[in-house]
Amino acid sequence: MEKTRIGIVGMGNIAQTIHLPILTKLQDTEVVAVCDLDDNKARFVAEKFQIPRYYSDVEKMLRSEDGIAGVDICTPTVVHPEVAIAAIESKKDVLVEKPLARSQSEAIAIVTAAKKHRRKVMVGMNNRFRPDSMILKSFIEDHALGRIFYAKAGWFKKLNAESVWLTRKEQSGGGVVLDLGIVMFDLAFWMMGYPEVKEVTSTHYTQFTKEVEDSSIMFMKMKNGSTLTIEASWSFESNTDFFYCDCFGTEGSGSLNPFRILKRMHGSLVNVAPVSQETPQSLYRKSYENELKHWVGALRGLHPVVSTGEEAVHRMKIVDAVYKSAKRGKAVAIQ
């Protein structure tokens, strides 16, 4: 079977610890080139993972690597549009680590280019691919929990030293909302079945940052009457990183971390979730394994892309409203 050839751009933490270790072990995939502005880093990573070629110029990689089917973009957000559009114009499909861009207008530019050149854009929302997430989603789709009328999700995580660029607005476009908040919004919104958002209210805090928010509380009202709360923080004091997503329906509820699905049966509340021995670390790893396998399958034409560029454009519309609400100190209606 001919292998799917891939190039990866951006040799930071997520590429070196997640994308490369997984992609280089997939039997139907070959990583043929890596690229980073730092030539020494690109060479080091290429040697470490036995990648045939390395580049410090994206355009040169795209010109030289005709056989690449997909480009995996793991760069800081500021260059997502530049790299993604260059790859798309070179007739490559792309996977872009979240967020797709710093704003909705930048996201639209990427998706417009993809439509023009008939290329696929997938955005890295790996939490949809967690085994427990997929199980909970299947229960919700089967209406086992009734109508979901409220969801809440959050992620509290300390910022590591290598990710300091996230605190520079020019580089990241925003703070914890674009780092952690958008991930939890995507996950909870997916669980709820994408109800139409009516209005957004948000409050931001800057306890340890200057240019961007380091904590955010977001509340969304949907046109169907359901509601969603998202909280994200680099600065909440906690002993460990903490991630959760809870969905409440008319006939039961579901939660991630800890994983449980509660349903009222014969007058009692019963946990009907399949027994799982997965650790948080293995769930995290499997989410990326499933995501990257899905992307390669989409490159091979086996199925459509999940977490599309078009979906990301819509998410960025809501994110833009989140920032407007925090700045104005009041609710912002979604037009």
pLDDT at 1 over 80: no
CATH 3.30.360.10 location in the chain: 128-278+314-333
Sorting pLDDT into bands at 50, 70 and 90, what band is 238? Answer: confident
- Helix/strand/coil (H, E, C) string of the chain? CCCEEEEEECCCHHHHHHHHHHHCCCCCEEEEEEECCCHHHHHHHHHHCCCCEEECCHHHHHHHCCCCCEEEECCCHHHHHHHHHHHHHCCCEEEEECCCCCCHHHHHHHHHHHHHHCCCEEEECHHHHCHHHHHHHHHHHCCCCCCEEEEEEEEECCCCHHHHHHHCHHHHCCCHHHHHHHHHHHHHHHHHCCCCEEEEEEEEECCCCCCCCCEEEEEEEECCCCEEEEEEECCCCCCCCEEEEEEEECCEEEEECCCEEEEEECCEEEECCCCCCCCHHHHHHHHHHHHHHHHHHHHCCCCCCCCEHHHHHHHHHHHHHHHHHHHHCCCEECC
When pLDDT is cut at 50, 70 and 90, the band that residue 321 belongs to is: very high
CATH number of the 128-278+314-333 domain: 3.30.360.10
pLDDT of residue 245: 98
Predicted confidence (pLDDT) per residue in 241-258, tens digit: 999 999 999 999 999 999
77-109 confidence digits (pLDDT tens): 999 999 999 999 999 999 999 999 999 999 999
Q: Give the pLDDT band of residue 280 (cuts 50, 70, 90).
A: confident
* Confidence class for position 118, pLDDT limits 50, 70, 90: very high
Q: Where in the chain is the domain with CATH 3.40.50.720?
A: 4-126+289-308
Output the pLDDT for position 155. Answer: 97
| The architecture CATH gives domain 4-126+289-308 | 3-Layer(aba) Sandwich (3.40)
